[in-house]
Amino acid sequence: MTRALRTGKTKVCSKQPQPHYAEVKAIASGNPMVIEKARIDAEIARPSRLHSEHQETNYKLRSRVRHLTDELPRLDCFLFHCRSRPDAPAGPHY
């Protein structure tokens, strides 16, 4: 899951979940069971994080499609006026 934390004008994005202090301390202890638990917890959280990233990407793409669809009439008008200028070059231009 993408997390964005805003503090003032600084934006920090993290794609990976950040472990809590207790988890870091336990992993640093070297206990293999704790390390295995941390690995399993991360593996369990992965599908949820991927789903959230997928939803966020879909939202951004749909928003972009809406914006570009709204721009089409304006660009068609601009193209029409460019082609109708007397100093416009002859021939098809795409």
Q: What are the pLDDT digits (tens) for 27-78?
A: 788 888 888 888 888 899 999 999 999 999 999 999 999 999 999 999 999 8
On the CB side of 29, how many CA atoms lie within 13 Å of its CA?
13
Quick check: 48 and 3 in contact, CB under 8 A? no
Residues 46, 72: Cα–Cα separation, whole Å: 39
pLDDT confidence tier of residue 13, bands split at 50, 70 and 90: low
pLDDT value at position 31? Answer: 83
Q: Is the pLDDT of residue 12 over 80?
A: no
The pTM assigned to this predicted structure is: 0.51
